[in-house]
Structure 1
Amino acid sequence: MHRLYVEEITETDGLIRLSGQNAHYLTNVLRQREGDNVLLFDSSGQVFDATITDAGAKEVVLKLTLQYRPKEEQSVAIVLCQGLIKGTKMDYVVEKATECGVSEIIPFYSTRCQFTETRKLARWNKIAIEASRQSQRVTVPVIKAPVSFSDLLSMIKNQTDSRSYIFYEKGGTSLKSQVLPDDIKTIYTIVGSEGGFSPQEISEAEATGVTALYLGSRVLRSETASLASVLLLQFMFGDMVYS
């Protein structure tokens, strides 16, 4: 059954009406017609089976037939804080981090970033929606507007019930030495851009309570380090199953 993300599932007498891009996607991309069944999910985690009752050129009407109990994601939310990187590399990080289960992505710029702003926020949100649909997640991660490294640290410092890590190629402690208290609800993983972090930035992060982690002697590309950090944290503290 095809899955379709809707910002908010709002029904009237058991019917939902879709127009614009969603209607176009159903009828022209998925080639769905009257009588076809679709699974709808939205930003709040609602999931419904729905049957198309009218597939018009500008509007598609669906009858909601079954509501599922939302599938819970991991109890510990993982937030990826990603230094801005060039070209399609950031697209790749957004897509794969979404598939791996992050709850939020916060782009940031630091001293070694090659740029400090982007016009790709809407594009990244679309990528996250599609990646959530493909991986059968019930929520779509929030993609925040880029912030400075200092502002990122200030934001993280003010969060309660959280733990934060910064991945540094020149040193730090090992991840397997970390023990997560039961009251921790959010983990922030901070990964730099192509140029990594300066020693001063690592010191600034540690001064605000962020733990520097070392992944070993291999020097990873930024996009590789991002996914490695998310997968390791999912394995250690999240919902990744190894048997």
Structure 2
Amino acid sequence: MYRFFVNAENILEDTILVTGSDVNHIKNVLRMKIGEEILISDGNDKEYVCSILNMDDEKVEAKILDINGPGRELPIKVYLFQGLPKGDKMETVIQKMVELGVYGIVPVSTKRSIVKLDAKKAANKVKRWNAISESAAKQSKRGIIPRVNDVCTFKQAIGMAKELDMIIMPYEEADDMEKTRNIIRDLKKDTSVGIFIGPEGGFAKEEVNAVMEENGTPITLGKRILRTETAGMAIMSVIMFMMEE
């Protein structure tokens, strides 16, 4: 069953209005018919099972058949602080992290980030990245659309992360796999975790120290050096496996 997202104001007493680009997708791409069922989410982990009542070029009206409560989301909020990678790697990172259950993504310009974006390019990138997040959320039947924040500096990222319950940083110079296992095993429900992933060149030593000054913990992901687009997915996969209910 296909999933779509709507704003809260589009949810009426017993019907929901789907507007925007999803109308064309339902009507002309999927070629759905009156009476077919779809899933609609309000972006807050509430899912509506609906049947299409009417549609035109501006909107699709769907009748609410059933309401499913929370259950698609992990009982923990994981934020990815991703050092800007080269090329289109960020798109892959966003798509896969959303599929795995990340709650939010913060693109970070670090000392060793090769990519440097001016304000206009950054705004266009963030717009595209959020579209990718929405598409991945629909495909994986997420209850929310994880937000991709504006590109920020490392200092700004630290300021955001210190408001979370825990900060972890996969780091090539860290060791003690048992320590990493214990950190993941000890994660609690209803907590927030920030994961810092460096760009292709990794984090500078002063950046690692800045994370540790905010009680962040360097962890190891094993003896192999993972690419920047792999590291976040590796740790997120473990967290998903441990926290899935």
After TM superposition, the score normalised by the length of structure 2 is 0.88
Q: Which moved more, 1:170-179 or 1:217-226?
A: 170-179
Deviation track 1:60-111 (CA, whole Å, cap 9, x = no partner) reads 2222222222325222221111111122211100000011111111111110
The separation in 2 between residues aligned to 1:39 and 1:82, in whole angstroms, is: 31
The separation in 2 between residues aligned to 1:49 and 1:173, in whole angstroms, is: 47
Return the match for 1:210 from 184, 206, 216: 216
* SS of alignment partner, residue 18 of structure 1: strand
The separation in 2 between residues aligned to 1:214 and 1:235, in whole angstroms, is: 18
Name the counterpart of 2:140. Answer: 135
* Aligned-pair identity (%): 28
Q: Is the 8 A contact 2:108 2:152 kept in 1?
A: yes
* SS of alignment partner, residue 111 of structure 1: coil
Residue 146 (str. 1) matches residue 151 (str. 2): yes
Tell me the amino acid that sits aligned with residue 221 of structure 2.
Answer: L
Tell me the amino acid that sits aligned with residue 197 of structure 2.
Answer: V
> Per residue, is there more helix in 1 or in 2?
2
Cα offset for 1:233?
Answer: 2.8
* SS of alignment partner, residue 120 of structure 1: helix
Name the counterpart of 1:165. Answer: 168
Name the count of aligned residue pairs.
237
Deviation track 1:125-175 (CA, whole Å, cap 9, x = no partner) reads 12111211211221221211111111111222233xx11111111225431
Q: Is the 8 A contact 2:45 2:69 kept in 1?
A: no
The alpha-carbon distance between structure 1 residues 190 and 56, as it changes in their structure 2 partners (threshold 3 A), is same
Name the counterpart of 1:21. Answer: 21
Unaligned runs of 5+ in 2: none
The residue correspondences of 1:20-39 to structure 2 (distance < 5 A) are: 20-39=20-39
Q: Is the 8 A contact 1:173 1:212 kept in 2?
A: no
The separation in 1 between residues aligned to 2:69 and 2:187, in whole angstroms, is: 29
How large is the Cα RMSD of the aligned pairs?
2.1
The alpha-carbon distance between structure 1 residues 173 and 108, as it changes in their structure 2 partners (threshold 3 A), is farther
Tell me the amino acid that sits aligned with residue 150 of structure 1.
Answer: K
